[in-house]
Chain A
Amino acid sequence: MTTEIGQGITVDRTGETGAFGGELLTVNFGPHHPSTHGVLRLVVDLDGEQVKRIKPVIGYLHTGIEKQMEALRWQQGVVVTDRHDYLSPPINNLAYALAVERLMGVEVPPRAQALRVIMCELTRLSSHLVWMGTSGLELGAMSMLMYCFRDRDTIMDMNEEISGFRMHTSYIRPGGVFADATPRFLDMLDRFTAKTMTKNVDEYEALLTDNPIWRRRTIGIGRLSAEDAKVLGATGPMLRGSGVAWDLRKAMPYSGYENYDFEIATSDLCDCYGRYLVRIKEMRESVKILRQALDRLPDGPINVDDRKMLPPPREELETSMEAVIHHFKLFTEGYSVPPGDVYVAVESGRGENGCYISSDGTHKPRRVKFRSASFVNLQALERMALNHFIADMIAIIGTADTVLGDCDR
Protein backbone atom coordinates (compact mmCIF):
# COMPACT_ATOMS: atom_id res chain seq x y z
CA MET A 1 0.00 0.00 0.00
CA THR A 2 1.54 3.28 -1.07
CA THR A 3 0.57 6.38 0.88
CA GLU A 4 1.38 9.88 -0.28
CA ILE A 5 2.66 12.01 2.58
CA GLY A 6 2.89 15.18 0.52
CA GLN A 7 5.08 16.85 -2.14
CA GLY A 8 5.14 13.72 -4.24
CA ILE A 9 6.87 11.76 -1.46
CA THR A 10 5.36 8.35 -0.92
CA VAL A 11 5.82 5.73 1.75
CA ASP A 12 5.21 2.03 1.26
CA ARG A 13 3.35 0.37 4.07
CA THR A 14 2.74 -3.34 4.20
CA GLY A 15 -0.39 -2.96 6.35
CA GLU A 16 0.91 -5.55 8.79
CA THR A 17 1.25 -4.79 12.48
CA GLY A 18 4.59 -5.31 14.15
CA ALA A 19 5.39 -6.67 17.62
CA PHE A 20 5.32 -3.19 19.15
CA GLY A 21 1.92 -2.27 17.79
CA GLY A 22 3.24 -0.11 14.95
CA GLU A 23 2.99 -0.79 11.26
CA LEU A 24 5.75 -2.43 9.24
CA LEU A 25 7.50 0.10 7.07
CA THR A 26 9.13 -0.73 3.77
CA VAL A 27 12.45 1.02 3.29
CA ASN A 28 14.64 1.04 0.22
CA PHE A 29 18.37 0.55 0.72
CA GLY A 30 20.65 1.08 -2.24
CA PRO A 31 21.59 0.56 -5.06
CA HIS A 32 23.62 3.69 -4.41
CA HIS A 33 24.62 3.30 -0.80
CA PRO A 34 28.17 3.51 0.48
CA SER A 35 28.06 0.21 2.34
CA THR A 36 26.41 -2.10 -0.14
CA HIS A 37 29.69 -3.36 -1.64
CA GLY A 38 28.65 -2.45 -5.12
CA VAL A 39 25.21 -1.80 -6.44
CA LEU A 40 23.11 -4.07 -4.26
CA ARG A 41 19.57 -2.91 -3.59
CA LEU A 42 17.61 -4.22 -0.64
CA VAL A 43 13.94 -3.63 0.02
CA VAL A 44 13.63 -4.01 3.77
CA ASP A 45 10.48 -4.35 5.86
CA LEU A 46 11.08 -2.76 9.24
CA ASP A 47 9.26 -3.08 12.52
CA GLY A 48 10.57 -0.02 14.27
CA GLU A 49 14.28 -0.53 13.68
CA GLN A 50 14.13 -4.29 13.47
CA VAL A 51 14.49 -6.05 10.17
CA LYS A 52 11.56 -8.34 9.43
CA ARG A 53 12.02 -9.10 5.76
CA ILE A 54 14.67 -8.44 3.11
CA LYS A 55 14.20 -8.66 -0.59
CA PRO A 56 17.47 -8.27 -2.50
CA VAL A 57 17.00 -6.66 -5.89
CA ILE A 58 19.89 -7.49 -8.14
CA GLY A 59 20.82 -6.90 -11.75
CA TYR A 60 22.14 -3.36 -11.46
CA LEU A 61 25.49 -4.57 -12.70
CA HIS A 62 24.22 -7.11 -15.20
CA THR A 63 26.87 -7.12 -17.88
CA GLY A 64 25.76 -9.93 -20.12
CA ILE A 65 29.06 -11.74 -19.59
CA GLU A 66 27.69 -15.22 -20.23
CA LYS A 67 25.99 -14.16 -23.45
CA GLN A 68 29.07 -12.23 -24.51
CA MET A 69 31.20 -15.35 -24.18
CA GLU A 70 29.10 -17.13 -26.77
CA ALA A 71 30.32 -14.55 -29.27
CA LEU A 72 33.98 -14.90 -28.34
CA ARG A 73 36.46 -17.57 -29.34
CA TRP A 74 37.72 -19.94 -26.64
CA GLN A 75 40.93 -18.04 -26.00
CA GLN A 76 39.17 -14.67 -26.03
CA GLY A 77 36.73 -15.76 -23.34
CA VAL A 78 39.47 -15.54 -20.71
CA VAL A 79 39.44 -11.75 -20.88
CA VAL A 80 35.75 -11.62 -20.00
CA THR A 81 36.04 -14.08 -17.09
CA ASP A 82 38.41 -11.64 -15.39
CA ARG A 83 35.70 -9.09 -15.07
CA HIS A 84 32.82 -10.95 -13.48
CA ASP A 85 34.19 -11.37 -9.99
CA TYR A 86 36.54 -8.45 -10.18
CA LEU A 87 38.18 -9.12 -6.82
CA SER A 88 39.49 -12.53 -7.86
CA PRO A 89 40.29 -12.50 -11.60
CA PRO A 90 42.85 -15.37 -11.72
CA ILE A 91 40.44 -17.68 -9.87
CA ASN A 92 37.75 -17.01 -12.47
CA ASN A 93 40.35 -17.62 -15.18
CA LEU A 94 41.23 -20.90 -13.53
CA ALA A 95 37.64 -22.16 -13.43
CA TYR A 96 37.22 -21.39 -17.12
CA ALA A 97 40.65 -22.73 -18.11
CA LEU A 98 40.13 -25.98 -16.20
CA ALA A 99 36.74 -26.47 -17.83
CA VAL A 100 38.14 -25.96 -21.33
CA GLU A 101 41.12 -28.18 -20.56
CA ARG A 102 38.88 -30.96 -19.27
CA LEU A 103 36.84 -30.89 -22.47
CA MET A 104 40.00 -31.00 -24.54
CA GLY A 105 41.59 -33.66 -22.34
CA VAL A 106 44.84 -31.83 -21.69
CA GLU A 107 46.75 -31.35 -18.48
CA VAL A 108 49.10 -28.44 -17.94
CA PRO A 109 52.74 -29.04 -16.89
CA PRO A 110 53.72 -28.93 -13.17
CA ARG A 111 55.34 -25.50 -13.33
CA ALA A 112 52.18 -23.99 -14.80
CA GLN A 113 50.13 -25.63 -12.06
CA ALA A 114 52.37 -24.20 -9.36
CA LEU A 115 52.22 -20.74 -10.93
CA ARG A 116 48.44 -21.03 -11.07
CA VAL A 117 48.32 -21.87 -7.37
CA ILE A 118 50.58 -18.91 -6.60
CA MET A 119 48.37 -16.51 -8.52
CA CYS A 120 45.17 -17.89 -6.98
CA GLU A 121 46.47 -17.61 -3.45
CA LEU A 122 47.76 -14.09 -4.04
CA THR A 123 44.31 -13.22 -5.30
CA ARG A 124 42.60 -14.80 -2.32
CA LEU A 125 44.82 -12.66 -0.11
CA SER A 126 44.03 -9.48 -2.00
CA SER A 127 40.32 -10.29 -2.03
CA HIS A 128 40.29 -10.84 1.73
CA LEU A 129 42.34 -7.68 2.20
CA VAL A 130 39.81 -5.61 0.27
CA TRP A 131 37.04 -7.26 2.29
CA MET A 132 38.73 -6.50 5.58
CA GLY A 133 39.57 -2.93 4.63
CA THR A 134 36.07 -2.02 3.48
CA SER A 135 34.29 -3.91 6.28
CA GLY A 136 36.52 -2.25 8.84
CA LEU A 137 35.76 1.12 7.31
CA GLU A 138 32.02 0.50 7.51
CA LEU A 139 32.12 -0.50 11.17
CA GLY A 140 34.27 2.42 12.19
CA ALA A 141 37.83 1.06 11.95
CA MET A 142 38.90 3.50 9.27
CA SER A 143 42.61 2.84 9.45
CA MET A 144 42.01 -0.76 8.29
CA LEU A 145 41.38 0.50 4.79
CA MET A 146 44.76 2.21 4.64
CA TYR A 147 46.65 -0.79 6.03
CA CYS A 148 44.87 -3.39 3.91
CA PHE A 149 45.26 -1.49 0.68
CA ARG A 150 48.96 -1.08 1.40
CA ASP A 151 49.34 -4.86 1.19
CA ARG A 152 46.93 -5.11 -1.69
CA ASP A 153 49.15 -2.69 -3.59
CA THR A 154 52.13 -4.99 -3.03
CA ILE A 155 50.10 -7.83 -4.56
CA MET A 156 49.09 -5.59 -7.46
CA ASP A 157 52.75 -4.79 -8.05
CA MET A 158 53.45 -8.52 -8.22
CA ASN A 159 50.57 -9.00 -10.64
CA GLU A 160 52.04 -6.27 -12.76
CA GLU A 161 55.48 -7.84 -12.68
CA ILE A 162 54.28 -11.26 -13.81
CA SER A 163 51.47 -10.31 -16.20
CA GLY A 164 51.89 -6.63 -17.00
CA PHE A 165 48.56 -5.65 -15.48
CA ARG A 166 47.38 -4.74 -11.99
CA MET A 167 43.91 -6.17 -11.65
CA HIS A 168 42.60 -8.07 -14.65
CA THR A 169 45.63 -10.17 -15.35
CA SER A 170 44.16 -12.79 -17.74
CA TYR A 171 47.19 -14.70 -16.55
CA ILE A 172 45.70 -18.20 -16.40
CA ARG A 173 44.62 -19.38 -19.83
CA PRO A 174 43.46 -22.68 -21.28
CA GLY A 175 46.67 -24.63 -21.89
CA GLY A 176 48.85 -22.96 -19.29
CA VAL A 177 49.74 -19.51 -18.14
CA PHE A 178 50.57 -16.29 -19.95
CA ALA A 179 54.22 -15.88 -19.01
CA ASP A 180 56.90 -17.41 -16.84
CA ALA A 181 57.69 -15.94 -13.43
CA THR A 182 60.52 -13.44 -13.63
CA PRO A 183 63.34 -13.57 -11.05
CA ARG A 184 62.11 -10.22 -9.73
CA PHE A 185 58.63 -11.67 -9.20
CA LEU A 186 60.00 -14.61 -7.25
CA ASP A 187 62.11 -12.23 -5.23
CA MET A 188 59.07 -10.07 -4.44
CA LEU A 189 57.03 -13.15 -3.52
CA ASP A 190 59.80 -14.38 -1.26
CA ARG A 191 59.94 -11.09 0.63
CA PHE A 192 56.14 -10.88 0.75
CA THR A 193 55.58 -14.34 2.21
CA ALA A 194 58.62 -14.51 4.48
CA LYS A 195 58.33 -11.13 6.11
CA THR A 196 55.68 -8.66 5.02
CA MET A 197 52.49 -10.66 5.14
CA THR A 198 53.12 -12.78 8.25
CA LYS A 199 53.94 -9.64 10.18
CA ASN A 200 51.01 -7.69 8.78
CA VAL A 201 48.35 -10.32 9.49
CA ASP A 202 49.45 -10.17 13.13
CA GLU A 203 49.06 -6.43 12.91
CA TYR A 204 45.50 -6.73 11.58
CA GLU A 205 44.62 -9.14 14.34
CA ALA A 206 46.04 -6.70 16.87
CA LEU A 207 43.82 -3.99 15.42
CA LEU A 208 40.58 -5.95 15.20
CA THR A 209 40.44 -9.29 17.01
CA ASP A 210 40.33 -7.86 20.53
CA ASN A 211 38.98 -4.48 19.54
CA PRO A 212 35.91 -3.92 21.76
CA ILE A 213 34.02 -1.92 19.12
CA TRP A 214 34.66 -4.51 16.42
CA ARG A 215 33.62 -7.34 18.75
CA ARG A 216 30.41 -5.66 19.83
CA ARG A 217 29.46 -4.93 16.24
CA THR A 218 30.11 -8.50 15.05
CA ILE A 219 29.74 -11.06 17.88
CA GLY A 220 26.25 -12.56 17.87
CA ILE A 221 25.31 -10.54 14.78
CA GLY A 222 24.12 -12.31 11.66
CA ARG A 223 23.83 -15.83 13.00
CA LEU A 224 23.67 -18.56 10.38
CA SER A 225 23.48 -22.12 11.68
CA ALA A 226 25.32 -24.90 9.88
CA GLU A 227 22.00 -26.45 8.74
CA ASP A 228 20.74 -23.15 7.36
CA ALA A 229 24.04 -22.50 5.62
CA LYS A 230 23.90 -25.91 3.94
CA VAL A 231 20.23 -25.63 3.01
CA LEU A 232 20.73 -22.16 1.51
CA GLY A 233 23.73 -23.35 -0.49
CA ALA A 234 26.22 -21.03 1.15
CA THR A 235 29.87 -21.74 0.40
CA GLY A 236 33.24 -20.30 1.27
CA PRO A 237 33.80 -18.36 4.50
CA MET A 238 30.01 -18.14 4.94
CA LEU A 239 29.81 -21.92 5.27
CA ARG A 240 33.09 -22.37 7.11
CA GLY A 241 32.15 -19.57 9.49
CA SER A 242 29.22 -21.79 10.47
CA GLY A 243 31.52 -24.64 11.38
CA VAL A 244 31.31 -26.78 8.23
CA ALA A 245 34.76 -27.80 7.05
CA TRP A 246 34.10 -27.71 3.32
CA ASP A 247 36.77 -26.32 1.03
CA LEU A 248 36.97 -27.34 -2.61
CA ARG A 249 40.75 -27.15 -2.46
CA LYS A 250 40.59 -30.13 -0.07
CA ALA A 251 37.29 -31.73 -1.09
CA MET A 252 37.91 -31.85 -4.84
CA PRO A 253 41.55 -30.82 -5.35
CA TYR A 254 42.55 -29.18 -8.60
CA SER A 255 45.82 -27.76 -9.92
CA GLY A 256 47.79 -29.84 -7.46
CA TYR A 257 46.27 -28.45 -4.27
CA GLU A 258 46.44 -31.95 -2.81
CA ASN A 259 50.23 -31.56 -2.60
CA TYR A 260 50.14 -28.56 -0.31
CA ASP A 261 49.94 -28.74 3.43
CA PHE A 262 47.26 -26.40 4.75
CA GLU A 263 44.24 -26.47 7.01
CA ILE A 264 40.62 -25.60 6.38
CA ALA A 265 39.78 -22.54 8.42
CA THR A 266 36.52 -22.96 10.32
CA SER A 267 34.75 -21.28 13.19
CA ASP A 268 31.84 -22.53 15.30
CA LEU A 269 30.67 -19.05 16.21
CA CYS A 270 28.28 -18.91 13.20
CA ASP A 271 28.22 -15.09 13.31
CA CYS A 272 29.96 -12.14 11.67
CA TYR A 273 32.90 -12.46 14.05
CA GLY A 274 33.28 -16.13 13.14
CA ARG A 275 33.39 -15.30 9.47
CA TYR A 276 36.01 -12.66 10.22
CA LEU A 277 38.13 -15.24 12.08
CA VAL A 278 37.80 -17.64 9.15
CA ARG A 279 39.10 -15.04 6.73
CA ILE A 280 42.03 -14.14 8.97
CA LYS A 281 42.94 -17.82 9.25
CA GLU A 282 42.60 -18.25 5.50
CA MET A 283 45.03 -15.42 4.95
CA ARG A 284 47.59 -17.19 7.11
CA GLU A 285 46.95 -20.46 5.28
CA SER A 286 47.33 -18.70 1.92
CA VAL A 287 50.73 -17.41 2.98
CA LYS A 288 51.65 -20.96 3.96
CA ILE A 289 50.59 -22.31 0.55
CA LEU A 290 52.49 -19.54 -1.22
CA ARG A 291 55.61 -20.35 0.78
CA GLN A 292 55.38 -24.04 -0.14
CA ALA A 293 54.68 -23.28 -3.79
CA LEU A 294 57.67 -20.96 -3.96
CA ASP A 295 60.02 -23.40 -2.25
CA ARG A 296 58.99 -26.30 -4.47
CA LEU A 297 58.47 -24.43 -7.74
CA PRO A 298 59.34 -27.02 -10.40
CA ASP A 299 61.26 -26.21 -13.55
CA GLY A 300 59.97 -26.89 -17.00
CA PRO A 301 57.53 -25.54 -19.54
CA ILE A 302 54.61 -23.32 -18.57
CA ASN A 303 52.29 -24.33 -21.40
CA VAL A 304 51.06 -27.53 -22.97
CA ASP A 305 53.04 -28.48 -26.05
CA ASP A 306 50.18 -28.25 -28.52
CA ARG A 307 50.53 -26.03 -31.55
CA LYS A 308 46.81 -26.35 -32.28
CA MET A 309 45.96 -24.72 -28.97
CA LEU A 310 48.66 -22.20 -28.20
CA PRO A 311 50.68 -19.98 -30.54
CA PRO A 312 54.25 -21.03 -31.42
CA PRO A 313 57.15 -19.15 -29.86
CA ARG A 314 58.14 -15.95 -31.59
CA GLU A 315 61.51 -17.18 -32.87
CA GLU A 316 59.92 -20.19 -34.59
CA LEU A 317 57.81 -17.89 -36.74
CA GLU A 318 60.87 -16.71 -38.63
CA THR A 319 62.13 -20.16 -39.55
CA SER A 320 59.13 -22.47 -39.83
CA MET A 321 56.35 -22.28 -42.39
CA GLU A 322 54.21 -24.58 -40.26
CA ALA A 323 54.54 -22.26 -37.31
CA VAL A 324 53.26 -19.38 -39.44
CA ILE A 325 50.27 -21.46 -40.52
CA HIS A 326 49.49 -22.42 -36.92
CA HIS A 327 49.83 -18.83 -35.85
CA PHE A 328 47.52 -17.65 -38.62
CA LYS A 329 44.88 -20.29 -37.89
CA LEU A 330 44.93 -19.61 -34.16
CA PHE A 331 44.49 -15.88 -34.50
CA THR A 332 41.87 -15.95 -37.23
CA GLU A 333 39.75 -18.95 -36.41
CA GLY A 334 40.95 -20.09 -33.00
CA TYR A 335 40.86 -23.70 -31.89
CA SER A 336 37.81 -25.88 -31.53
CA VAL A 337 36.87 -27.83 -28.45
CA PRO A 338 35.31 -31.30 -28.67
CA PRO A 339 31.55 -31.38 -28.11
CA GLY A 340 30.37 -32.02 -24.58
CA ASP A 341 29.29 -30.51 -21.31
CA VAL A 342 31.54 -29.92 -18.35
CA TYR A 343 31.28 -28.34 -14.92
CA VAL A 344 34.37 -27.36 -12.96
CA ALA A 345 34.31 -25.66 -9.59
CA VAL A 346 37.15 -23.92 -7.80
CA GLU A 347 37.33 -22.26 -4.41
CA SER A 348 37.41 -18.49 -4.67
CA GLY A 349 37.63 -16.04 -1.80
CA ARG A 350 33.85 -16.06 -1.68
CA GLY A 351 33.13 -19.75 -2.11
CA GLU A 352 32.41 -22.17 -4.90
CA ASN A 353 33.12 -20.48 -8.19
CA GLY A 354 31.92 -22.88 -10.85
CA CYS A 355 32.05 -22.76 -14.60
CA TYR A 356 29.72 -24.80 -16.74
CA ILE A 357 30.57 -25.03 -20.43
CA SER A 358 28.63 -26.61 -23.21
CA SER A 359 30.53 -27.04 -26.43
CA ASP A 360 29.15 -28.03 -29.82
CA GLY A 361 32.59 -28.66 -31.29
CA THR A 362 33.09 -25.28 -32.91
CA HIS A 363 35.58 -22.55 -32.13
CA LYS A 364 33.16 -20.74 -29.82
CA PRO A 365 31.29 -22.03 -26.75
CA ARG A 366 27.62 -22.86 -27.12
CA ARG A 367 26.84 -21.81 -23.59
CA VAL A 368 28.90 -20.68 -20.63
CA LYS A 369 27.39 -20.43 -17.18
CA PHE A 370 29.05 -19.29 -13.99
CA ARG A 371 27.92 -20.56 -10.64
CA SER A 372 28.94 -17.57 -8.61
CA ALA A 373 29.29 -17.76 -4.86
CA SER A 374 28.05 -14.20 -4.30
CA PHE A 375 24.70 -14.89 -5.92
CA VAL A 376 24.02 -17.98 -3.83
CA ASN A 377 25.39 -16.52 -0.60
CA LEU A 378 23.06 -13.56 -0.99
CA GLN A 379 20.13 -15.90 -0.33
CA ALA A 380 21.27 -16.29 3.26
CA LEU A 381 21.03 -12.55 3.87
CA GLU A 382 17.44 -12.58 5.10
CA ARG A 383 18.08 -15.47 7.46
CA MET A 384 21.09 -13.68 8.90
CA ALA A 385 19.55 -10.24 9.26
CA LEU A 386 16.17 -11.31 10.66
CA ASN A 387 15.26 -9.45 13.89
CA HIS A 388 18.51 -7.52 13.88
CA PHE A 389 18.64 -3.74 13.88
CA ILE A 390 19.00 -2.03 10.54
CA ALA A 391 22.48 -0.78 11.57
CA ASP A 392 23.63 -4.39 12.00
CA MET A 393 22.70 -5.06 8.40
CA ILE A 394 25.88 -3.18 7.46
CA ALA A 395 27.99 -5.71 9.35
CA ILE A 396 26.00 -8.59 7.86
CA ILE A 397 26.25 -7.42 4.26
CA GLY A 398 29.93 -6.78 4.90
CA THR A 399 30.73 -10.28 6.12
CA ALA A 400 28.62 -11.89 3.39
CA ASP A 401 31.27 -10.36 1.08
CA THR A 402 29.16 -10.29 -2.05
CA VAL A 403 30.70 -8.85 -5.16
CA LEU A 404 27.89 -7.61 -7.30
CA GLY A 405 29.82 -8.12 -10.49
CA ASP A 406 30.01 -11.77 -9.54
CA CYS A 407 26.34 -11.88 -8.56
CA ASP A 408 24.84 -10.14 -11.61
CA ARG A 409 27.45 -11.10 -14.21
Chain B
Amino acid sequence: MGIEALAESLGQNFLTTTLGKLVGWGRGNSVWPAQFGLACCAIEMIATATAGVDIGRFGSEAFRASPRQSDLMIVSGRVSQKMAPILRTIYDQMPEPKWVISMGACASTGGVFNNYALLQGVDKIVPVDVYIPGCPPRPEDLLNALMILQERIKAQGILPRQ
Protein backbone atom coordinates (compact mmCIF):
# COMPACT_ATOMS: atom_id res chain seq x y z
CA MET B 1 0.00 0.00 0.00
CA GLY B 2 1.47 3.30 -1.04
CA ILE B 3 1.57 6.36 1.20
CA GLU B 4 -1.20 8.07 -0.84
CA ALA B 5 -3.44 5.06 -0.54
CA LEU B 6 -2.76 4.93 3.23
CA ALA B 7 -3.61 8.62 3.60
CA GLU B 8 -6.77 8.12 1.59
CA SER B 9 -7.88 5.17 3.69
CA LEU B 10 -7.36 7.09 6.92
CA GLY B 11 -9.19 10.17 5.67
CA GLN B 12 -8.82 12.98 8.17
CA ASN B 13 -8.52 10.70 11.16
CA PHE B 14 -4.86 11.26 11.95
CA LEU B 15 -2.55 14.01 13.06
CA THR B 16 1.18 14.28 13.30
CA THR B 17 3.15 15.36 16.37
CA THR B 18 6.33 14.62 18.18
CA LEU B 19 6.40 12.19 21.06
CA GLY B 20 7.66 14.92 23.37
CA LYS B 21 4.70 17.15 22.61
CA LEU B 22 2.23 14.33 23.07
CA VAL B 23 3.69 13.31 26.41
CA GLY B 24 3.85 16.94 27.51
CA TRP B 25 0.21 17.44 26.54
CA GLY B 26 -0.80 14.41 28.55
CA ARG B 27 1.26 15.29 31.59
CA GLY B 28 0.33 18.95 31.54
CA ASN B 29 -3.40 18.26 31.52
CA SER B 30 -3.39 15.71 34.32
CA VAL B 31 -1.29 17.19 37.08
CA TRP B 32 -2.36 15.44 40.27
CA PRO B 33 -1.50 17.41 43.41
CA ALA B 34 -0.58 15.77 46.68
CA GLN B 35 -3.19 16.44 49.36
CA PHE B 36 -0.85 18.24 51.65
CA GLY B 37 -2.23 21.17 53.57
CA LEU B 38 -0.12 23.14 56.01
CA ALA B 39 -1.76 26.34 57.15
CA CYS B 40 -4.03 29.16 56.00
CA CYS B 41 -3.25 28.64 52.30
CA ALA B 42 -4.55 25.07 52.57
CA ILE B 43 -8.04 26.47 53.12
CA GLU B 44 -7.76 28.48 49.92
CA MET B 45 -6.36 25.37 48.22
CA ILE B 46 -9.50 23.49 49.26
CA ALA B 47 -11.56 26.42 48.01
CA THR B 48 -9.82 26.07 44.64
CA ALA B 49 -11.01 22.48 44.43
CA THR B 50 -14.65 23.32 45.13
CA ALA B 51 -17.40 24.38 42.78
CA GLY B 52 -16.69 28.12 42.84
CA VAL B 53 -13.48 28.11 40.81
CA ASP B 54 -13.15 24.37 40.18
CA ILE B 55 -9.60 23.24 39.59
CA GLY B 56 -11.13 20.20 37.85
CA ARG B 57 -11.46 22.28 34.69
CA PHE B 58 -7.70 22.04 34.42
CA GLY B 59 -7.41 18.34 35.18
CA SER B 60 -6.05 18.72 38.72
CA GLU B 61 -9.04 17.90 40.88
CA ALA B 62 -7.58 14.53 41.90
CA PHE B 63 -5.86 15.49 45.16
CA ARG B 64 -4.04 12.30 46.11
CA ALA B 65 -3.62 11.31 49.73
CA SER B 66 -0.49 9.35 48.88
CA PRO B 67 2.58 11.14 47.56
CA ARG B 68 3.29 8.03 45.46
CA GLN B 69 0.34 8.92 43.23
CA SER B 70 0.94 12.61 42.79
CA ASP B 71 2.93 14.80 40.41
CA LEU B 72 2.63 18.15 42.10
CA MET B 73 3.28 19.31 45.62
CA ILE B 74 1.49 22.52 46.56
CA VAL B 75 3.31 23.84 49.61
CA SER B 76 0.29 25.60 51.05
CA GLY B 77 1.42 27.54 54.06
CA ARG B 78 4.23 28.16 56.46
CA VAL B 79 6.84 25.44 56.88
CA SER B 80 8.23 25.21 60.39
CA GLN B 81 11.68 23.85 61.17
CA LYS B 82 9.99 20.78 62.62
CA MET B 83 7.94 20.20 59.48
CA ALA B 84 10.78 20.72 57.00
CA PRO B 85 12.24 17.18 57.10
CA ILE B 86 8.76 15.69 56.70
CA LEU B 87 8.05 17.91 53.73
CA ARG B 88 11.30 16.79 52.14
CA THR B 89 10.43 13.13 52.81
CA ILE B 90 7.09 13.55 51.09
CA TYR B 91 8.80 15.23 48.17
CA ASP B 92 11.28 12.35 47.92
CA GLN B 93 8.43 9.85 47.97
CA MET B 94 6.80 11.41 44.91
CA PRO B 95 7.70 9.71 41.62
CA GLU B 96 9.45 11.63 38.85
CA PRO B 97 8.52 13.78 37.03
CA LYS B 98 7.34 16.05 39.84
CA TRP B 99 6.77 19.75 40.33
CA VAL B 100 6.39 22.10 43.27
CA ILE B 101 4.22 25.19 43.64
CA SER B 102 5.13 27.40 46.56
CA MET B 103 1.79 28.89 47.57
CA GLY B 104 1.78 32.13 49.49
CA ALA B 105 4.28 34.46 51.07
CA CYS B 106 5.21 32.15 53.97
CA ALA B 107 6.14 29.20 51.76
CA SER B 108 8.03 31.44 49.34
CA THR B 109 9.96 33.68 51.72
CA GLY B 110 8.78 33.22 55.30
CA GLY B 111 6.26 36.00 54.84
CA VAL B 112 5.53 38.17 57.85
CA PHE B 113 7.28 35.68 60.12
CA ASN B 114 10.97 36.38 60.10
CA ASN B 115 11.84 34.35 63.18
CA TYR B 116 13.46 31.25 64.65
CA ALA B 117 10.55 28.91 64.04
CA LEU B 118 9.96 29.11 60.32
CA LEU B 119 11.85 28.02 57.28
CA GLN B 120 12.52 31.22 55.35
CA GLY B 121 11.34 29.90 52.02
CA VAL B 122 10.61 26.33 51.04
CA ASP B 123 13.07 26.58 48.14
CA LYS B 124 15.80 25.94 50.67
CA ILE B 125 14.76 22.27 50.81
CA VAL B 126 12.86 21.48 47.59
CA PRO B 127 13.18 22.94 44.07
CA VAL B 128 10.24 25.25 43.37
CA ASP B 129 8.76 25.71 39.90
CA VAL B 130 6.17 28.44 40.50
CA TYR B 131 5.87 30.93 43.35
CA ILE B 132 2.54 32.53 44.21
CA PRO B 133 2.54 35.82 46.13
CA GLY B 134 -0.23 36.69 48.54
CA CYS B 135 -1.14 35.93 52.13
CA PRO B 136 -3.04 33.78 51.35
CA PRO B 137 -3.36 33.97 47.56
CA ARG B 138 -6.84 33.87 46.07
CA PRO B 139 -8.00 30.59 44.54
CA GLU B 140 -7.69 32.27 41.16
CA ASP B 141 -4.00 32.88 41.87
CA LEU B 142 -3.50 29.17 42.41
CA LEU B 143 -5.27 28.44 39.13
CA ASN B 144 -3.03 30.94 37.39
CA ALA B 145 0.05 29.26 38.85
CA LEU B 146 -1.23 25.90 37.68
CA MET B 147 -1.71 27.25 34.16
CA ILE B 148 1.82 28.66 34.15
CA LEU B 149 3.09 25.28 35.32
CA GLN B 150 1.08 23.50 32.63
CA GLU B 151 2.63 25.65 29.92
CA ARG B 152 6.03 24.79 31.29
CA ILE B 153 5.30 21.05 31.50
CA LYS B 154 4.02 21.05 27.95
CA ALA B 155 7.19 22.72 26.74
CA GLN B 156 9.46 20.36 28.63
CA GLY B 157 8.79 17.23 26.60
CA ILE B 158 9.76 13.73 27.64
CA LEU B 159 12.58 14.51 30.06
CA PRO B 160 11.37 17.32 32.29
CA ARG B 161 14.23 17.63 34.74
CA GLN B 162 17.78 16.79 33.84
A positions within 8 Å CB-CB of B: 31-34, 38-39, 59-65, 67-68, 71, 79-80, 83, 86-87, 130, 133-134, 145-146, 149-150, 152-153, 156, 166-168, 404-405, 408
Contacts and interface: CB of A to CB of B under 8 A. Distances in A.
A67 B39 contact: no
A64 B135 contact: no
A150 to B, nearest CB: 6
Contact of A153 (B52, B83, B90): B52
Nearest to A166: B138
Contacts of B52: 149-150, 153
Given A60-B83, A149-B51, A32 B116 contact: no
Interface in B9-51: 35-40, 42-44, 46-47, 50-51
A405 B117 CA distance: 13
A134 B63 CA distance: 14
B86 A149 contact: no
Nearest to A35: B65
Contacts of B65: 33-34
A31 B117 contact: no
Given A65-B113, A67-B115, A146-B51, A60 B138 contact: no
Contacts of A80: 112-113
B40 A32 contact: no
A167 B80 contact: no
Interface string B51-93: 1100000000000010000000000011010110010001000
Contact of B47 (A62, A153, A404): A153
Contacts of B132: none
Contacts of B122: none
Interface residues of B, number: 32
Contact of A83 (B42, B83, B90, B112): B112
Contacts of B47: 149, 152-153, 156
B118 interface: yes
B113 A64 contact: yes
B19 to A, nearest CB: 35
Contacts of A87: 43
B118 A63 contact: yes
Contacts of A63: 39, 78, 80, 113, 115, 117-118
A149 B116 contact: no
Contacts of B83: 31, 39, 60-61
Given A59-B80, A149-B52, A31 B40 contact: no
A313 to B, nearest CB: 27
A134 B50 contact: no
Contact of B86 (A60, A133, A404): A60
Given A32-B90, A153-B52, 6 more contacts: A33-B65, A63-B78, A64-B118, A83-B39, A83-B112, A167-B44
Nearest to B47: A149
Contacts of A31: 83, 86
